[in-house]
């Protein structure tokens, strides 16, 4: 019981951190190229995680070749793909659009759990995912309609491309948060976080070299601050929390906690961008809490 509840808490905190990346990405997108920002993110996070492994005495896991390639694919999807696609999309899409599309993450993650992990979620978990998805749609529906009415026709094509890039980022995140459950070799949360950061740095470094050279005098300080935040909170902290939490619960249950992403994004937008939180957002938060309660109830029945 205690381990499962700890898993719920860790997954919720990790997804709250992921939600904050929407605001951080908005700060980064117009100040740094996407691969350069991604490489810098992991260049900051990887040494910290390596130092933590050294302090705790953890060693690299002995993985089979298939497992090693699985981790490369996982890092390519989430560590690099999610960041690059989200940053690229945020250059073209509005923050409102990004919040709407992020609301599809619970359904995408549940689909990954069923197709890739071959899990059979219980009725309560299915209901929780549905309720969480309804909540995030309610959270963003009114704002999306307002944005659609205010958007100039000349920006429609670029906005559509931005929306598609953010949607692709959501699919990458759906695979990233659950693919490690296919591993047979035990890998600790710290080992997994370090591997994801190291592989992410390796995959993003070469493409970053082909982006335009940095001009230190012209780098946006808010973009750099966004990258540092991204590296320390959603990467170091978020990776550790998610992998520790997901190891304690089923993939389909973990997928429901991704509903915290758009709710968290709305909260951070209110705090950082001073946007108001209306009745729709409060209703969505209620749906998310109800979804978490259903997951907890089903977990208690299974024990």
pLDDT tens digits, one per residue of 250-301: 776 777 777 787 778 777 877 877 766 667 667 776 777 777 677 666 665 6
Q: Contact, 185 vs 63, CB < 8 A?
A: yes
**Res 144 pLDDT > 90:** no
Q: Which residues, in sequence order, are CB contacts of 132 under 8 Å at separation 6+?
A: 106, 256, 258, 259, 287, 288, 291
Q: What percent of the chain has pLDDT over 70?
A: 76
Quote the domain boundaries for residue 236: 2-302
Q: pTM of the prediction?
A: 0.78
Q: What percent of the chain has pLDDT over 90?
A: 21
How far apart (Å, rounded) are the C-alpha atoms in residues 232 and 239?
10
pLDDT of residue 277: 65
Ranges of H-type helices in 57-176 = 65-74, 83-90, 95-102, 105-115, 123-150, 156-176
How far apart (Å, rounded) are the C-alpha atoms in residues 117 and 250?
10
Helix (H, G, I), strand (E, B) or coil at 43: helix
Q: Which residues, in sequence order, are CB contacts of 182 under 8 Å at separation 6+?
A: 70, 116, 117
How far apart (Å, rounded) are the C-alpha atoms in residues 300 and 165?
39
CB-facing half-sphere around the CA of 301: CA atoms within 13 A:
10
**Res 99 pLDDT > 60:** yes
Q: For the chain, how many structural domains are there in total?
A: 1
- Alpha carbon separation from 53 to 48, 158, 201 (Å, rounded): 9, 43, 17
């Amino acid at each position: 019981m205690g381990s499962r509840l700890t898993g719920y808490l860790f997954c919720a905190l990790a997804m709250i951190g992921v939600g904050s990346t929407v605001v951080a990405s908005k700060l980064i997108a117009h100040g740094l190229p996407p691969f350069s920002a991604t490489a810098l993110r992991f260049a900051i996070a990887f040494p910290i995680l390596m130092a933590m492994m050294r302090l705790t005495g953890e060693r690299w896991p002995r993985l089979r070749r298939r497992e090693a390639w699985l981790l490369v694919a996982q890092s390519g999807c989430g560590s690099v793909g999610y960041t690059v696609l989200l940053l690229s999309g945020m250059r073209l899409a509005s923050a409102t659009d990004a919040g709407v599309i992020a609301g599809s993450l619970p359904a995408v993650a549940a689909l990954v759990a069923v197709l890739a992990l071959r899990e059979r979620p219980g009725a309560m978990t299915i209901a929780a995912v549905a309720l969480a998805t309804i909540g995030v749609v309610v959270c963003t529906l009114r704002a999306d309609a307002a944005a659609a009415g205010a958007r100039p026709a000349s920006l429609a094509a670029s906005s559509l491309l931005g929306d598609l890039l953010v949607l692709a980022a959501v699919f990458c995140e759906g695979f990233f948060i659950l693919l490690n459950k296919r591993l047979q070799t035990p890998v600790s949360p710290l080992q997994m976080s370090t591997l994801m950061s190291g592989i992410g740095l390796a995959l993003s470094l070469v493409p970053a070299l082909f982006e335009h050279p940095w001009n230190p005098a012209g780098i946006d300080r808010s973009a750099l601050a966004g990258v540092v935040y991204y590296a320390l909170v959603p990467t170091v902290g978020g990776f550790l929390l998610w992998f520790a939490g997901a190891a304690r619960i089923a993939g389909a249950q973990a997928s429901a906690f991704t509903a915290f992403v758009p709710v968290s994004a709305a909260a951070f937008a209110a705090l950082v961008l001073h946007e108001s939180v209306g009745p729709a957002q409060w209703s969505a938060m209620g749906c998310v809490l109800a979804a978490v309660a259903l997951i907890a109830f089903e977990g208690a029945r299974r024990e």
